[in-house]
Amino acid sequence: MRLLTWNVWKNSPPYETRVRIIAAEIAAADPDIVLLQEAFVGGGADTARDLGRALGLVATAAPARLKRRPHGGAMVDSTNGLAILSRRPVDFNRVVALPAHPDDPDRIAQIVRVGALVVVNVHLTHLAGADALRRGQIVHLLDRLPEDKPTVVAGDLNAEPEGWAPRTLREAGFHDLAEAAPFPTCGGRRIDFLLCRGLPVQGATVRAVGDRPINGIDGSDYVGVLAELPDPDPR
């Protein structure tokens, strides 16, 4: 089973070119499940929908952060939320509102079930000096997750490995899949994670996706994290 998490940089230009690059990178990685952060919807554009169609994956969205943004030469109503792409049907899609700061509202987590696997998509606050808030967001989320089911928590934690949010997940029994072979994911920092609990991890491999520009253009300002590990629900 291949899992990929990637912050896809909203609608930053050149948006259409970047979406094509992201689609090509995901197709080459061939993941079973993709967790997207900063998935843009607005002005006729829909990053998750368009990637799902291009890749033949089921797109399940969790829109968030509604505001007017410039797109296509105009100001448009838009969202910049979370989405999950999957080869298999998604059984449910639950959105959990996370504790937030007035300067960074509308933070959410997205929880879906794909077969036997619970998949959790997160994008924690970006505010500097807000490590305690990020920990609180993770504690709030953990209280709403089953402890007896194989679970993946992945996304942009906006915290490095020793930050309170990743530490809190590890203390709750989650394994950081890139711990043995870490690499930076944004601005020289490792702030994007794939963590799992209740899954066999022996032999799991992790690598970067989208870490080099194509024709001088980056798919995102973030690098995707791809993990391959045993499938909890082979079919």
How much is the average pLDDT of 164-193? 98
* pLDDT mean across residues, the chain: 97
Residue 234 confidence (pLDDT) above 70: no
- pTM metric for this prediction: 0.97
Q: Which CATH class is domain 2-228?
A: alpha beta
Q: What is the pLDDT of residue 235?
A: 59
How distant, in Å, are the alpha carbons of 18, 25, 209, 225 from that of 213? 10, 11, 11, 16
Q: What is the pLDDT of residue 231?
A: 78
Provide the residue ranges of all domains of the chain, joining segments of one domain with +: 2-228
**Residues 186-211: tens digit of each pLDDT:** 999 999 999 999 999 999 999 999 99
CA distance 150 to 11: 33
Sheet with 151-156: list strands edge to edge. 93-97, 108-114, 117-123, 151-156, 192-197, 175-176
